[in-house]
Amino acid sequence: MSEFSDYSVKNYYTERNNNPLLPQSIRGCIIGKSGCGKTNLLMNLLLDGSVNSQDEYLDYNNLYVFSTTLFQPCYQALINGFENGLSKKEIRQCFRKQDFVIEEKENVKPIINVVSSDSLEDIPDPSSIDPDKKTLIIFDDLMLEKQNKIEQYYTRGRHNNIDCFYISQNYIKLPKNTIRENANLFIIFPQDKLNLDYIYRDHCGEIDKPEFLEMISLVWKEKYSFLTIDKTSEKDSGKFRKLLKYFYDQMYSSMEEDLQKMKRYEVRRKVAMIGSELRKYILKSREIQTMRKQEMIDFIIKFKDLNL
């Protein structure tokens, strides 16, 4: 127990209930090259919950989207849906049915308020946002713009009950002293060696470099898979994950299961080969006992060559 009294002030604003797999206050970065699956993952986070849980991933009722690519159909469907009073569940159904004809309604009270813009000039100061709202802000594809307004959300946003995600193709180009140092959740799709070196140096001191490289190789061997680094968790409690739910030790358990499956498959394949060879010799002779000595020797040699 500390010898000092606790003089912290408890949160006075509406508490949010993000999924247990995510920090309760999020300053996140989703990093990956074009076409890697960043936007699809974002839509999952915005609209879905984990497969084995009723909890939605993100708890919000006030959404801001700042992006130079608002023309993307997924953003259009999301924004139009919320503006016309649809719930997350109803928008999910639009995607699943591929039916995006949404009836425009007048004087509708949105379940989730949404504001969108392709201009950084429209980004409000964090202090102007009502802390009683559960605000979530998405910054997407804004690396060519001045970062000052975005950086404020990674240094001061949590004081106004604001969660945020920065979507970027490149880790190194993120401002180091504000976004990279203050972000507490990184979702990382395959990166080049230079970006990996910086990611390891900045966030992975608990494991040595060879172990880190082995981990990312395991994570990224599947298409659209990503590494999660949750800086609010310890190494053994989910700091490093494959996707969102496979913790560090579970990654290797999964790899061991894959190896066992491969071994079982290899055994079955070799047994099938042995059976095939045996059938050939049986067909050549009326009965196995009538094999000539040399044929039997040849069969035994082939059997040994299979290394079963």
**The domain that contains 90 carries what CATH number?**
3.40.50.300
Alpha helices in 207-247 (DSSP H): 209-219
**Pairing assessment for the beta strands 227-230 and 27-31 based on DSSP bridges:** unpaired
The C-alpha atoms of residue 190 and residue 223 are separated, in whole angstroms, by 10
- Residue 179 has φ and ψ, to the nearest 5°, of -75, -50
Q: Is residue 172 domain-shared with residue 36, that is, in the same domain?
A: yes
What's CA 109's distance to the chain center, in Å? 32
- φ, ψ dihedrals at 60, nearest 5°: -150, 155
Task: Specify whether 121 is located in the same domain as 204.
Answer: yes
* Domain ranges, residue 95: 27-244
Question: Is the separation of the CB atoms in 163 and 25 below 8 Å?
Answer: yes
Domain-located, residue 21: no
Query: Same domain for 78 and 126?
Result: yes
Q: Domain end: 222, 244, 266, which one?
A: 244
31 plus 177 within the same structural domain = yes
Residue at 1 is within a domain = no
If asked whether residues 147 and 260 sit together in one domain, one would say no
* Judgement on whether residues 183 and 93 belong to the same structural domain of the protein: yes
214 and 92 assigned to the same domain: yes
Q: What is the pLDDT of residues 229-280, one digit of tens each?
A: 999 999 988 999 999 999 987 666 655 565 565 556 565 666 666 666 666 6
**131 plus 265 within the same structural domain:** no
Round to whole Å and give the CA distance between 243 and 260.
22
As for how many domains the chain has, the answer is 2
**Residues in contact with 279: Cβ distance below 8 Å, sequence separation at least 6, in sequence order:** none
Local confidence pLDDT in tens for the 308 residues of the chain: 567 777 666 665 678 899 999 999 999 999 999 999 999 999 999 998 755 555 789 999 999 999 999 999 999 999 999 999 999 999 999 998 888 777 777 778 899 999 999 998 999 999 999 999 999 999 998 876 788 899 999 998 888 999 999 999 999 999 999 999 999 999 999 999 999 999 999 999 999 999 999 999 999 999 999 999 999 999 988 999 999 999 987 666 655 565 565 556 565 666 666 666 666 655 555 555 555 656 666 666 665 555 54
Entry pTM: 0.78
Sheet architecture: strand order including 113-117: 113-117, 62-67, 135-140, 162-168, 27-31, 185-188, 227-230, 240-242, 246-247
Same domain, 160 and 271: no
Residues 278 and 135 reside in one and the same domain: no
